[in-house]
Amino acid sequence: MSSPLKAGTLDDFASSLAAYIDQAMQNEWQARKGEFLPTDGQGADDRKILFAAIAQGVLKFLGDHGGDLVTTDNTGDGGLTNHRHTMAFTVDTYRTPLP
């Protein structure tokens, strides 16, 4: 079985979706503005809180709606060989309460 998807929290940020979002933000900021975002201080903390919240909400939503992520593909042979694909994963490190 695969490892749980790690949303991330401010206290547990490494190797999380939030950390990936933060890195992408830093990359885009530098590409557009030509300068680095702060890596410490209040601005960096606020950014990490925002990205952790986004990551937690996205992964919690996907976890709660896993059944909606099923696709069926008719290969064009009159329905003799339908393929059904599902996405299965577990979610880790989100702050409660979330719906």
Q: Exposure string (b/e) for 42-76, b if CB count within 10 Å is 16 or more?
A: eeeeebbeebbbebbebbbeebeeeeeeeeeeeee
How many structural domains are present in the chain? 1
Tell me the pLDDT tens digit for each residue of 24-34: 999 999 999 99
Look at residue 97 and tell me if it is in a domain. Answer: no
Domain span holding position 22: 5-92
Look at residue 98 and tell me if it is in a domain. Answer: no
Tell me the pLDDT tens digit for each residue of 80-90: 666 666 666 66
Tell me the pLDDT tens digit for each residue of 8-47: 999 999 999 999 999 999 999 999 999 999 989 999 999 9
CA–CA distance, 70 with 83 (Å, rounded to integer):
11
Look at residue 82 and tell me if it is in a domain. Answer: yes
Look at residue 99 and tell me if it is in a domain. Answer: no
